[in-house]
Amino acid sequence: MDVVYSEDCALHDPPFELTRGVVKPYVESPARLESIKKFIDSQPSTFTITEPCDYSLTPILNVHKEDYLQFLHTIYEDWVDQGLPKNAVTGECFNHTNSFNKIDPEILKETALMTPSGRVGMYVFDLSIAFTSKTWLSTYTAAQIALTAAHKLLQLQKENEEKGKVAAIYGLCRPPGHHANCCVAGGYCFVNNAAVAVKFLQDYTLEEMNIMSKPLEFNPKDSITASGPKPKLSADKPKKKIMIVDVDYHHGNGTQDIFYDDSSVLYISLHGFPDYPFFSGSAKEIGRGEGQGYNINIPLDPKTTTDEIYLDHLTKVLEENQTVQEFNADIIVCSMGLDTWHEDPIAGMKGLKNVETYFKIGGLLKNSKSCKGRPVLFIQEGGYTIEKLGQLACRILQGFLES
């Protein structure tokens, strides 16, 4: 299996975070990536490392708002220019709708944009987000990894059609993405890598991706504007139906929000509940408008969920759920969080203790009724048991390959 990876993703390295009243070293650290990469390198007969290409900002702008990306691009420099500490940009006051609900939104935004702290409060929703001088580089690279993996998935699908093989690829990237929506960062997430990959798969043909693909040459002074070709949507190019299976411990509120009105994307999330992000993840959240019925949340009690219970819920939704079967996805995207492991320092299902559960997750993504025969794109999300991450990641991927 190809693994798309870049060392630039390890450059985002904030010194601290404030979580539940405790200041501590930043949990979403480069060590996460290094642990998985080390295990991948120990399996050369199974995994092949490949470098990301560059598809410009255009596919990212198809998901995220331009002013938000401009903020991600410039906030560190703006912060330092104001004489604020160089070690990290952090928030102190956040835009809560109940605090400012009588102010015209445009006036509120105009005021917020006057100061770096105001900009952080406008575009960030929690204290897990910290910016360093390299955060935008790592964030941009992570998105390009997801785009490269999506492109390569379609190439593999085309190559494998005659061989009867199922295409799969792994985007090993950080920062993670599933908590970021179109205009707000949170939960260690800046750009929603999975959502960017999904839209890319829907908006562009393989031929268009081939034209867009360039060597990755990051320039921090590049402007935040679309520079690649816009997708040419037409009646004779139907939108691919994509099912996202989010197995991260935390609810992917950002991914849900981005596709909440969209019937072409079916979002499934199994997550600890009630827990972070504290305001979403209920089974009552089923989508809206055209997207109604295409959002499936499976909240699980982290204190009582065992390996058997977790696999039973995943099996039922992928094998028996009528909506999932009738959706008949063209492509599966797995938001591959590894923080369900019982020893995870900030999450963890307390009864999920068997590494082979992860192997079985990979098998279900290959052989369940709703996934069988479909290409699968794995995108790295959370997981913080550093010494275990490589093994957990590889067991999911091996479960897919060997089932």
pLDDT tens digits, one per residue of 194-220 = 999 999 999 999 999 999 999 998 887
pLDDT the model gives residue 231: 64
Give 21 or 109, the one with higher predicted confidence: 109
pLDDT the model gives residue 142: 98
Range(s) of the domain holding residue 22: 2-69+129-402
* pLDDT of 9 strictly over 60: yes
d(CA 59, CA 229) in angstroms, rounded, equals 9
pLDDT the model gives residue 221: 73
Tens of pLDDT, residue by residue over 99-136, are 999 999 999 999 999 999 999 999 999 999 999 999 99
* pLDDT of 254 strictly over 70: yes
% pLDDT > 90, the chain: 91
pLDDT the model gives residue 223: 77
Distance, C-alpha 153 to centroid of its chain:
17
**What average pLDDT score do residues 247-257 get?**
98
Whether residue 98 is contained in a domain is answered as: no
pLDDT the model gives residue 20: 81
Whether residue 175 is contained in a domain is answered as: yes
* pLDDT of 141 strictly over 80: yes
Whether residue 96 is contained in a domain is answered as: no
pLDDT band at 335 (very low <50, low <70, confident <90, very high): very high
**What average pLDDT score do residues 362-383 get?**
98
Whether residue 242 is contained in a domain is answered as: yes
pLDDT the model gives residue 177: 98
**What average pLDDT score do residues 29-46 get?**
97
pLDDT the model gives residue 230: 67
Whether residue 65 is contained in a domain is answered as: yes
DSSP 314: H
Tens of pLDDT, residue by residue over 295-314, are 999 999 999 999 999 999 99
In Å, how far are 7, 27, 138, 147, 378 from 49, measured between CA atoms? 11, 25, 18, 15, 14
pLDDT the model gives residue 229: 67
User: Does residue 250 contact residue 179 with C-beta atoms inside 8 Å?
Assistant: yes
Work out the mean pLDDT of the chain and round it to a whole number.
95
Here the CATH number for the domain that contains residue 316 is 3.40.800.20
Whether residue 56 is contained in a domain is answered as: yes
pLDDT the model gives residue 368: 98
Least confident of 20-24, 182-186, 337-341: 20-24
% pLDDT > 70, the chain: 97
User: What is this structure's pTM?
Assistant: 0.97
Whether residue 113 is contained in a domain is answered as: no
CA nearest neighbour of 302 among 344, 356, 245: 344
d(CA 82, CA 6) in angstroms, rounded, equals 32
Domain count, the chain: 1
d(CA 164, CA 10) in angstroms, rounded, equals 37
Tens of pLDDT, residue by residue over 155-189, are 999 998 878 789 999 999 999 999 999 999 999 99
Q: How many other C-beta atoms are found inside a 10 Å radius of the C-beta of residue 222?
A: 13
Whether residue 165 is contained in a domain is answered as: yes
DSSP 95: -
DSSP string across 214-226:
EE----TT--SS-
